[in-house]
Amino acid sequence: MSLNDAAAMVAFINVSDRDRALGFYCDTLGLSVRSSDGYGDFLAAGPGLIRMTVLPGATAALHPVLGWNVADIGAEVRDLTARGVAFTRYDGLEQDALGIWTSPENGSKIAFFADPDGNVLTVSQA
């Protein structure tokens, strides 16, 4: 058995307020709850899962912790913006009008945003 072929990926993210986080991940991003327990929730995310664990006082990392590779980043950023997502702009990072940065090395594109706990999330197009 190989982890490459056999199992769906599970990403872990910590949040401090379950209801607020569920509102963002489900209502704003459109994910659905697969199952729940006293510690958090499993959210369906394509073929994988996100384990959203409730940790009072959780603090966000300064780097991206979760991202989605999409076919059309411009369309995805416009859709998420219409749903209320604010994309982050970084000093020194040349981003277009939508907040999308294009790598000068390989042309891949990435846009950054945060959940209500400040966890950095991304959408990208390779």
Q: How confident is the model at residue 62 (pLDDT cuts 50, 70, 90)?
A: confident
Domains 1-59 and 60-126 share a fold: yes
Overall average pLDDT of the 101-121 stretch? 96
Strands (E), 21-104: 32-37, 40-45, 48-54, 64-69, 87-88, 100-102
The CATH superfamily assigned to 60-126 is 2,3-Dihydroxybiphenyl 1,2-Dioxygenase, domain 1 (3.10.180.10)
Evaluate if pTM is beyond 0.85: yes
> Is the CB of residue 111 less than 8 Å from the CB of residue 122?
yes
Domain spans of the chain, in order of start: 1-59, 60-126
* CATH tag, 1-59: 3.10.180.10
Overall average pLDDT of the 86-103 stretch? 96
pLDDT digits over 73-90, tens only?
999 999 999 999 999 999
